[in-house]
Amino acid sequence: MKVYLIGAGPGDPELITVKAARIVGQCEVIIYDDLIPLEVLLLAKPGAEKIYVGKRAGMDNLQQPEINNLLLELARKGHSIARLKGGDPCVFGRGGEEALFLAEHQIPFEIIPGITSAIAGPISAGIPPTHRGLAASLKIVTAHEDPAKEAGFLDWHLLAQENGTLVFLMGATRIGAIAARLMQEGMDGMTPCALVQDATLSSQRHVATTLKDAADVAQEHQIASPCIMVVGKAVELSRTLYTKPDLPLAGTTVLITRPSHLAFRTASLFSAQGARAYLYPLVEITPLPYETPDITCYDLFVFTSQNAVPLFFEKIFANGLDARAFAGKGIYCIGPKTRDALKYYGIMPDGMAQEFRAEGIVDMLKSRDLSNKRVCLPRARGARPYLAQALTNRGARVDEILVYETTLPQNTDKQGFMAMVDKVDTIVFTSPSGVKNAQKLLEEDIGLLKEKRLVAIGPVTAEAMTKLGLPPHLTAREYTDAGIIALLKGAKA
C-alpha cells in the first residue's frame, strides 16, 4: 500500500523520468490528470486500472476532495497507486495538498519530481529562464488568478518591477489581461514576451512579441491551451538560440496498432521525427500455461518474437537456472528487437536472421547440419507453420512451445477505433494479428480503412492485409519501426 505522487513531465512522453516510468509500470492503479500523454499511460502493467480525474478550462471531472478520498479508499484496499500529474506534482499541481491529506490519514506516500513546463517550455522555444546579464531570477506564476481583481495572493505591482523572467502557467485565456495588468502596474510595454503552445511536443508553436502586443498576437496566431507566457529580457535570446528541429515527418499523423507494452517506444520514435502519433493497440499478448522444458535435451533454441523471450526465460530462471544453463547451445533470433530481449537475460545469440521473418531463419541455418538435432521453438499460438515445417524437413526434431497468444485487447470497440482512425492520415500494422483484429472490430466496414495510407511492417503483414482487402500502400524493407519511419520519410520526400 503506497501512493506515488508523480510528475509526468511537460508533454513530450520521453521527458518522463526513469524513476517515474519504472514506478508507473509497477503500480496496480493509475490515477491521472488532463494532458498526460497516452504513451505514459501505456507504461502501466497489463491489467492496471486507469482512472481519469482531470481538470481543464475550469471544468472538473472530480473535485479535489473527491480525488483525495479516492486515493484514500484505494490505498486502504492495499493498492499501489500512481497519481500522475502533468509537469511537476508540486508546481501548481496540488501535489502538496494531496501529500498532506495522505499524511493526515497515515497513508504511505512518495513524491516523484517531474520536469515542469515552466522550465521546459521556455527552453524548448530557445529561451533560457535565467541568463547572465539578462535574468538573474525566475518567478513562476499561476494565471488562474484573475488579473483584474485587486484582492488575491499575487502582488502585481511587485511582479511588474521584476527584472528577471516571469513565467505564467495555464494562461491561454488571460494573456491580454495579464499584459494589461503588468503595464498598469508600471512594466514597460516593450518588454519582450513569448507565448508557447504545446511546449515540447512535435506540435509546439511559439511566437515572440512585446507585452503591449501580446493580446493581439495571441489572437492573430490563435494561441490556445495548453500555453505558457514568458515575460522578460531573456525572451530576446529566442531569435538566436531557437533552431527549428529537423522533423521530416512533421504534419504526418500516424495510428500505431501494436501491443501497448511496445507502443511507448514506437510512438516516441515517430514523435522524434515530427509525426503526431496516436495509439490504439489492436493486439494484446496473453501468456499461456506450459510445462517448463528440460533445456538440457535441446541443441538449438530459435526465437522468432521479442514477446516470447521474457515469457520463456522468466519461467526457466524461476527454476533456479540462469544464462549459464544455455552454454554450448545454439541460440538464434529473428531480428534486433528479439536480439536485444535476449541480451537482457544475459544471452548473446549465435546468429540473427538478415531477413526478419521465418524465411530468414531458415536461410541463416542453411549451412548447419540439423539432422536429429533437437530444436526448441518458443512462440505464439497460431504462428505460421512454415518455420517448424522447414526445420523438420531438414531433419530436425522441433518442439513448438506455445508461450503466449495474441488476443484483441479488452475495452476495444468499433466506435473507439474509428474515432482514432478519423484523426490520422496513416495507419501502421505491425503483425497479421493486428490486421485480423481490425477486421473483427469493423467487420463489413473494414473497407473504410482504405481511405487512409496503409503501411505494413513487412511482407507477412502485407499478405494478411491484402487477403482482407486492404493492400498496403507501403511495405517496409526493414521489418522494424525504424524501417517504417525510413519508408515514410522517403514517401514524403
Q: Is 70 exceeded by the pLDDT of residue 344?
A: yes
CATH code for the domain of 344:
3.40.50.10090
Name the catalytic one among 19, 50, 55, 233.
55
Q: Same structural domain for residues 413 and 272? A: yes
- Whether 456 and 257 have beta carbons less than 8 Å apart is answered as no
CA angle 368, 373, 374 (to 5 degrees): 130
pLDDT digits (tens, 9 = 90+) for 455-490: 999 999 999 999 999 999 999 988 889 999 999 998
Instruction: Give me the count of residues in the chain.
Output: 493
Q: Which amino acid is at 281?
A: P
Q: Other C-beta atoms within 10 Å of 50: how many?
A: 15
55 tagged catalytic = yes
Distances (CA, A) of 244 to 167, 238, 247, 492: 22, 11, 8, 19
Specify the residue for cell string 522524434.
272
Q: In this structure, are strands 2-7 and 109-112 parallel, antiparallel, or unpaired?
A: parallel
The count of domains in the chain is: 4
Q: What band does 60 get if pLDDT is binned at 50, 70 and 90?
A: low
Name the catalytic one among 12, 33, 88, 198.
33
Q: Is 60 exceeded by the pLDDT of residue 57?
A: no
Q: Same structural domain for residues 198 and 102? A: no
Q: Same structural domain for residues 212 and 141? A: yes
Q: Report the range of poorest mean pLDDT among 143-152, 364-373, 438-447.
A: 143-152
Q: Is residue 248 part of a domain?
A: no
CATH code for the domain of 74:
3.40.1010.10
**Is residue 113 classed exposed, middle or buried when 0-12, 13-18 and 19+ CB atoms within 10 A define those classes?**
middle
Q: Is 70 exceeded by the pLDDT of residue 59?
A: no
For the whole model, what pTM was predicted? 0.77
Nearest to 196 by CA among 230, 165, 222, 173: 230
33 tagged catalytic = yes
Q: Is residue 246 part of a domain?
A: no
Q: How far apart are the first and last CA of the chain?
A: 53
Cell of 229: 507566457
Q: Same structural domain for residues 361 and 441? A: no
Name the catalytic one among 12, 85, 88, 170.
170
Q: Same structural domain for residues 333 and 392? A: yes
Provide the pLDDT for residue 143.
Answer: 85
What is the rounded distance in angstroms from the CA atom of residue 81 to the CA atom of residue 442? 35
Q: Sign of the CA dihedral 69, 71, 74, 75?
A: negative
Q: What is the mean pLDDT of residues 428-451?
A: 93
Q: Is 90 exceeded by the pLDDT of residue 148?
A: no
* pLDDT > 90 fraction of the chain, expressed in percent and rounded: 77
Provide the pLDDT for residue 45.
Answer: 83
Q: Same structural domain for residues 159 and 308? A: no
Q: In this structure, are strands 453-456 and 330-333 parallel, antiparallel, or unpaired?
A: unpaired
- Whether 425 and 492 have beta carbons less than 8 Å apart is answered as no
Q: What share of the chain is helix, strand, coil (3-state, %, to 5)?
A: 40, 20, 40
- DSSP-derived 3-state class of residue 230: strand
Provide the pLDDT for residue 82.
Answer: 98
Q: Which DSSP category does 409 fall into?
A: P
Q: Report the range of poorest mean pLDDT among 17-21, 197-201, 266-270, 305-309.
A: 266-270
What is the rounded distance in angstroms from the CA atom of residue 295 to the CA atom of residue 258? 31
Q: Which amino acid is at 2?
A: K
Q: Is residue 289 part of a domain?
A: no
**Could you tell me the residue range of the domain that residue 352 belongs to?**
294-404
Provide the pLDDT for residue 90.
Answer: 96
pLDDT digits (tens, 9 = 90+) for 111-139: 999 999 999 999 999 999 999 999 999 99
pLDDT digits (tens, 9 = 90+) for 164-193: 999 999 888 999 999 999 999 999 999 999
Specify the residue for cell string 479488452.
410
Q: Same structural domain for residues 95 and 6? A: yes
* pLDDT > 70 fraction of the chain, expressed in percent and rounded: 99
DSSP 260-310: HHHHHHHHHHHHHTT-EEEE----EEEE---PPP-GGG-SEEEE--TTHHH
Q: Same structural domain for residues 400 and 413? A: no
Q: If you average pLDDT over every residue of the chain, what do you get? A: 92
Q: Is residue 341 part of a domain?
A: yes
**Which of 388, 404, 420 is a domain's end point?**
404
Q: Other C-beta atoms within 10 Å of 219: how many?
A: 11
Distances (CA, A) of 64 to 53, 94, 153: 9, 9, 20
Q: Is residue 448 part of a domain?
A: yes
Q: Same structural domain for residues 274 and 374? A: no
Q: Is 70 exceeded by the pLDDT of residue 334?
A: yes
Q: Is 60 exceeded by the pLDDT of residue 58?
A: no
Q: Same structural domain for residues 37 and 144? A: no
Provide the pLDDT for residue 276.
Answer: 87
Q: Same structural domain for residues 178 and 318? A: no
Q: What band does 333 get if pLDDT is binned at 50, 70 and 90?
A: very high
Q: What band does 39 get if pLDDT is binned at 50, 70 and 90?
A: confident
299 tagged catalytic = no
Q: Same structural domain for residues 32 and 97? A: yes
**Is residue 291 classed exposed, middle or buried when 0-12, 13-18 and 19+ CB atoms within 10 A define those classes?**
exposed
Provide the pLDDT for residue 251.
Answer: 87
Facing residues of 7 across strands? 85
Q: Is residue 44 part of a domain?
A: yes
Nearest to 474 by CA among 423, 434, 426, 422: 426
DSSP 82-124: EEEESB-TTSSS-HHHHHHHHHHTT--EEEE----HHHHHHHH
Q: Is residue 247 part of a domain?
A: no
**Which of 63, 97, 114 is a domain's end point?**
114
Provide the pLDDT for residue 431.
Answer: 92
**Which of 114, 140, 172 is a domain's end point?**
114
pLDDT digits (tens, 9 = 90+) for 200-216: 988 899 999 999 999 99
Provide the pLDDT for residue 20.
Answer: 97
Distances (CA, A) of 294 to 30, 155, 315, 437, 463: 39, 73, 12, 35, 36
Q: Is residue 288 part of a domain?
A: no
CATH code for the domain of 170:
3.30.950.10
Provide the pLDDT for residue 188.
Answer: 96
